[in-house]
Every structure is written in C-alpha cells, then in structure tokens.
Structure 1
Amino acid sequence: MMTDIRTTLGVRPIINVSGTMTGLGASIVVPEAVDTIARMLPQFVEINDLQRRASEVIARLTGGETGFVTASCAAGITLAIAGAMTGTDLAAIERLPDARGLKDEVVVLSGHLVSFGAPVEQSVRIAGARVVPVGQVTSAYGYQLAGAITERTAAALYVVSHHTVQFGQIPLDEFAAVAHEKGVPVIVDAASEYDLKGFLAAGADVVVYSSHKFLGGPTGGIVAGRKDLVRAAFLQNIGIGRGMKVGKEGIAGTIAALKAWERRDHEGIRARELRALELWKIGLAARPGITATIVADPTDNPLDRLQVNVDRELAHITAWDLADALAAGNPPVIVRDHEVEHGYFFMDPCNLHPDQEHQVLARLNEELDKAQQSNSIIATPLADRRKRRVASLLRWPD
C-alpha cells in the first residue's frame, strides 16, 4: 500500500464531508485530469494557443461563444468585471485598477454581498470598480435594480451560492432583462454549480465557474460567454490578470475535466451518495438528541446532504462542539458547519473515498458516546469558538 502523501508532508489526513470547499482541497480530481496534468508538466506549449483549445471545449459544454481558464472563480469575476470596464483598450487595461475615465460601478443585490472565503465586493474592487448595492438584504425588486444603474455602470454581478440569501431576491432572468434594457452586461458567479448551460440560457452574458469543485479539475476558474466580453476579460492577463495567471497544467487539466464531465456517470454517482446519506441517517436514528434529515441543495444542484440537528440537552453536546470533536479526532472528519449556531450542521458525501462513509458513522458514534458519558453537557461558548478561529488565522504559520 502506498504511503498517504498527506502523512509524508506532515499534514492531517482528513475526511471531507463538508463539500467542495477550497480550504479543504475542493474535490477529488478526476483520473483523466491527473493523467493529463502529469503528461503536460514536462512539456512546453504556447499558452494562448492552449487557451484557444480550452475555449472550444468550454463553448461546447456551456453554450457560450467562447471561454478561457484562469486562476480561480474569484479571479474570473475580477477579470470579467475589468473586461466590461475596459473592453479591448490595451492602454486602459494596463492602467487598471486606476479606472479614471471608465465606467466603474457594478450593481450587486445586497443579499448577494457575501463571503465565499473572501468578500464578493473585494473581487469587484480589485478591478478598480466599486459596488452599488441593490435593494435590501432580504428583498430586492426590479425597479431597485433599474434605479441603481447609471451612466457609470459597467456591469451587473449576480451570485449563485448557498451563502446568499435564498428568498426575496430577483430571479436571474428578470435581473438580466432589467440590466439588458439599460445596456448593462450581466456576469454570473456560479463557482460551485452543476449547471453549465442554464445561466447563459437565462440571460447571463458571462458566467464564471470553478474548475476544481464539482468538475473535479485542478484549481482554476472558467470564464464563458459572449465573445467580446470574454475576449476583453482574457486581455486582462496583460494587466491585473498577470497575478491571476494559470499554468499549462491548469489549462490542460481543466480541458480534461470538462471532457470527463460529459462522460461521467452522474446517475451512478448520485446513487452512491444517496446510499451514504441513508447509512448515516439510519445509523443516527436511535441516538438521543440527534435528528438526521436528508435535504436538497439550496441552489438546485442535483445532490442532497444530511442535516444533523443536535438537541444539546438530550445529546449532551452542542452542534458546534460535536463538529469540533469530529474534526479533532482520528481520523479527523470535517463537516459543513456554516450555520452551526442554529443547532445543526450538514454532511456532504460528494467527496468520499470508498468505505469512508462507514468511518464517518463510526466517528459520529464515538463522539456521541463520549458526550453521553460526560457528567455535564459539553457546551463551550460559541463566541469563544469564533475568537479561536480568528486567532488561529493570525498565528499562521505557527
């Protein structure tokens, strides 16, 4: 048996039931991409020509006119916004983020101004633009979008994510119609979405995806859509995009991942994920204070997760302490805990290796048994947990 590379490097061999999170390595890269990357790394290639080949594949899979690969979805957002500001004016491209003389406003729904590991608005500011919020966090209407668009508006950004407010927002088709009536292009952040064609079909002019999430490619972003806007975004590589460049292996690996996506047994993968969810749900059914429910993805991706509700009085532990105990044990199991203050967390089976679903269940039972044996309810202050996370960041690399 091969030694786990993570052990060799001195990092923890975690089990990821959080999902396609960049901070955990995003996804299991598909074998086709791994092989392509290995074969490309020793070779030389004209990068712009390789991007042309990527464009052909991206256009076929997304229905867009053209596309290219960049460093990440966040980079793609910045480049797409910059392209909407400068067009193909090379002098303007070299001046950014100095946006004097350019349209420099980007309208975004207030309910979409979230963090995906960094603030959405920062991806806008890097281009030299400023965000114009539309509506309120929990409600937005077409007239508010129309009223926010001025002669300085370069683009309208729409974010599709489980992090955004999931009610009271303007649907994409209406958002696009209002923006287009005002002559403003629409850019969609679809970093972690399965649907490669629906957003352009709904009216987006440019869509940006992560290549390293559900696609199972290397770390990167995919920019797809209207040729003039994608070309202008691509040209940012001689300006602010220089620091967001992607290598030959990233482009080739993304091409391979896209082609593999066309051949993937999506139904078979979904069936395997559902078996893991059922295993966990049944395995937790008799646990005091634990209610496990299979729930659909909030942005309509064809996948489900297990929502684990924790009654601290009966389970003898809070949801966040259980999540932390799972992460601290052996093997470490990382759950999706972004809403844990409400007394629950999620478990996502999309990144499991064979048999890991059983290891996850064993770890859950182990930590729940420990909690039941505790003389008091395990309930550390949630505020302390938040402080520890910030302190841990500030201590890096220690």
Structure 2
Amino acid sequence: MDSFYKKYGLKEVINASGRMTILGVSKVSESVIAAQRFGGEHFFEMAELSIQMGAYLAKLLKVDDVQIVSSASAGIAQSVAAIIGQGSKYHVYHPYTETIVKREVILPKGHNVDYGTPVEVMVELGGGKVVEAGYANMCTPEHLEMMINDNTAAILYIKSHHTVQKSMLTVTDAAKIAKKHNVPLIVDAAAEEDLFKYINEGADLVIYSGAKAMEGPSAGMVIGQKNYINWVRLQEKGIGRAMKIGKDNILGLVQAVEDYLNTGSESGESMRQRLEPFVRSLNTIANLSAEIVQDSAGRDIFRASVKVADKKSAKEVIAELKQNAPAIYTREYQANNGIIEFDVRSVNAAEMKKIIDRLKEIMRGV
C-alpha cells in the first residue's frame, strides 16, 4: 500500500470524518469488488442492464422500480428533470425550453443547504426553479402548502444532518400536503440508512447514495413509482448522459444493496464499545476533554466529541492533523465552538492509535 501512495505522490488518509465525498466516501467489500470486476470484464446491452438491475433492486426494496444513477446529486437533477418533462421526448432534447412553465420546486428554507454543492444547483441543473417555504429555523405543513400554485412541479425534502433539524415538518407531513394537491414528493435521503422508511411515509421518489450507508461504489439510486422512474430513466438520453454510470459500478451497487439488506451496518452500540477506549485515551491528553455523543440528526451513529482548551483553537488542531502523513480528517462542523468530532465508522484500532499519537504531538506544543 505504501508503494502505491509513493508511486503517485499521494498522501495516506485516515477518515475520521464519516462518509465524506471529499475523501472518496467509503471502503467497499470484497463481494462488491468482485461484482465490479465481473462488470469490468464483460459486455452488456447497457439499456437492458439498467432495466434489469433496477427490477432486481425493486424486488429487494419492495417498490415499483429503481433507476441506478451515478450519484445522489445526479438523482436530484434527473428526478427534477423527469417530473418537469413528464415523459416528453421533446423535453429530453430541450430540457430548458421556455414552453414549459411548470418548473417550481418547493423546498423548505432550512433544507436549501450546501452539502458539497448547493441543493438549488442540482435543482436548477434539472431545469427547476427553487421556491423556499418557511424560514431558516422553521417550516410547517402550512408554510409548505401556501407556496403551491399552478407552476409547482414538485416538492423536494432533504433528509440530512446538514439541514435544520428543529421545528421542521416531517416527510409524512410533506407527503400529506403533496397528495392533497396532487404534487409529487421527492425525498433526497442520500446518507440515510433505512431504505424502506420514506417510501412507506408517502414519498413518490426517494434518492440514495450508493457509497454512503451501503458502502458501495460511486453510484446512487432513485426508487419509487413506476411512471416516475420511467421518466427518470428517460433522462439518460438527455441531461443524464453527462452523469452516466459505468457497468462495473452498476453491478457493484446492486451487490452492495443486497449485502446491506442481509447484514446491515455497524450498530450504534458497536460504535460506542469501540469508542470507549479511544475516548479514555483522548482524556489522558492535556488540554483535551472527550466524550461519546450521538449524531445530531438522531441517527444510530456515535462519535467522539473532543473539546480543545483555549490555548490552541480547534481549527488549529484540525489543520495540524491534516498536515502530516497520514493526513487525519475529522468532522469540523463545531470547530467554531472549540469542538472536534471523530467518526470511527471507517477507522480501525491501529488508525485510532495513530490519531492518539498525533494528538499527543500536537498538544505538547500548547
């Protein structure tokens, strides 16, 4: 492994930040690698591969149909384009034509976040126009409903730790409003772990990342009602062409979903147990105070939360952790409050020791 890093001039990375796109998201299993290899070594009729793999996933997920896409972001853009075009082949070739005026996509204001790119960029790429509902710290069903008009194409709900969590309507709330006005509800659940929940709560289309909770390759999938999925699939001949996914990652994603449904992901309790000795070691380091905390969005994910003494800022420690090889990446969302979080889902015991050793070096200088 070291020779590979040396050959290409790359820096080894310890990913204690979570399933982050900037670090390649997640590691894949041997079974996923085997599926990708099979895909890479064989030819397929790509249109048929897309349909058949979607049908296979649909049976596993108990939905009408599934379209595999290159990423969750592509899923947003292609889903928006699909709902606007409604199966029109003219729209596929002219996605931004002014003859279509029904382009408004209603989004709770607290969901219009930057997750690596702004949500509204993906909506606009799909030809939609974002209309915000509610306020940054509140969106009720009434706020959502009052924004619906004759130009409303869809409602988009972002289920993510990036979004505002307090005083926000639920997916079920949004689904009731959507059905009342016969407007499709799209849920972006990119990193969410439950592959059944949001369809069961009334969403028409749900988007997942293949590389996050499921630890698959760079890929995504849109699941939901048959007619809507057909419209999404049609986008492969339009804007989806620039977002196409290869045969190896299609097969790898299907294997990852199957494995995930069979074995699940690491439980919160397992994370807690692995974190306990790590946190004890952190608390032996001068000017650091550590505890185990749950994910702020309520997911079954536990992390080490480390408070840095005032003599050295959390931002300075974060920067120093990245400097050496291996570069150690952490969750930086609370750095302005003097807190660093360590997500250990992709961190083994040997890497935890490297983190401890590096923090001891850094904190000696305080």
TM class by smaller structure: over 0.9
Hey, what does 1:387 align to over in structure 2? none
Output one character per residue of 1:46-89: Cα deviation in whole Å (capped at 9) or x when no partner. Answer: 11221223213432343321102111100000111111111111
1:306/1:98 CA distance change after superposition, 3 Å:
farther
Matches of residues 229-240 of structure 1 in structure 2 within 5 Å?
229-240=228-239
> Partner residue of 1:142?
141
Q: Does 1:356 align with 2:354?
A: no
SS in 1 for 2:41: coil
In the TM superposition, what are the counterparts of 1:144-183 in structure 2 within 5 Å?
Answer: 144-183=143-182
| Counterpart contact for 2:79–2:126, Cα < 8 Å | no
Letter in 2 for 1:253: G
Unaligned runs of 5+ in 1: 372-398
CA shift at 1:333, angstroms? 0.7
Amino acid of the structure 2 residue aligned with 1:285? N
User: Counterparts of 1:61 and 1:320 in 2: how far apart (Å)?
Assistant: 44
- Normalising by structure 1, report the TM-score: 0.88
Structure 2 residue 334 is the aligned partner of structure 1 residue 339 = yes
Amino acid across the alignment from 1:136:
Y
Return the alpha-carbon distance in structure 2 between the equivalents of residues 353 and 263 of structure 1. Answer: 23
CA pair 97-354 structure 1, distance change in 2 beyond 3 A: farther
Q: 1:45: which partner in 2?
A: 44
Partner AA of 1:310 in structure 2 = V
| Mapped contact 1:97–1:240 kept (Cα < 8 A) | no
Alignment of 1:74-153 (within 5 A): 74-153=73-152
Identity %: 30
Equivalent residue, structure 2, for 1:255: 254
SS of 1:151 mapped into structure 2: coil
Q: Taking structure 1 as reference, are residues 355 and 99 closer, same or farther at Cα in structure 2, changes over 3 Å only?
A: farther
1:76 counterpart letter in structure 2: G
Task: Tell me the CA shift for residue 99 of structure 1.
Answer: 4.8
2:324 partner letter:
G
Matched, 1:19 2:18: yes
Mean CA deviation greater in 339-348 or 11-20: 339-348
TM-score (norm 2): 0.95
Aligned to 2:295: 297
Aligned mate of 1:273, from 261, 265, 271: 271
* Residue number in structure 2 paired with 1:241: 240
State the match for 2:324 in structure 1: 329
Q: Distance in 2 between matches of 1:297 and 1:162?
A: 8
Q: 1:308, CA displacement in angstroms?
A: 1.2
| Aligned residue in 2 for 1:72 | 71
Which SS does the other structure have where 2:365 is aligned? helix
- For 2:238, give the aligned amino acid: G
Q: Secondary structure of the equivalent of 1:337?
A: coil
Q: Against the structure 1 CA distance between its residues 305 and 224, is the aligned structure 2 distance closer, same or farther, given a 3 Å change threshold?
A: same
- 1:213–1:4 CA distance, 2 compared to 1 (3 A): farther
Amino acid of the structure 2 residue aligned with 1:294: I
Q: Matched residues in 1 for 2:274 and 2:7: separation?
A: 29
* Contact 1:290–1:308 under 8 Å retained in 2: yes
Cα 1:286–1:25 shift into 2, 3 Å:
same
Secondary structure class of the residue paired with 2:240: helix
RMSD across aligned C-alpha pairs, in angstroms?
A: 1.6
Q: 94-103 or 33-42, which moves further after superposition?
A: 94-103
Alignment deviations for residues 219-255 of structure 1 (CA, whole Å, 9 cap, x no partner): 0111101111111011111111110110101101101
From the superposition, tell whether residues 247 and 98 of structure 1 become closer, same or farther in structure 2 (CA, over 3 Å).
same
Mapped partners of 1:92, 1:329: distance in 2: 51
Using the TM superposition, name which of 231-240 and 282-291 deviates more. Answer: 282-291
Specify the SS of the correspondent of 1:218.
coil
CA distance in 2, matches of 1:222, 1:265: 18
Provide the aligned length of Structure 1 versus Structure 2. 366
CA shift, 1:275, in A, is: 3.3
Work out the CA distance in 1 between the residues paired with 2:44 and 2:245: 13
Structure 2 residue runs without a partner (length 5+): none
Classify 1:4/1:335 alpha carbon distance in 2 versus 1 (closer, same or farther; 3 Å). Answer: farther
Cα contact 1:97–1:126 (8 A) shared by 2: no
Q: Shift in Å at residue 289 of structure 1?
A: 3.3
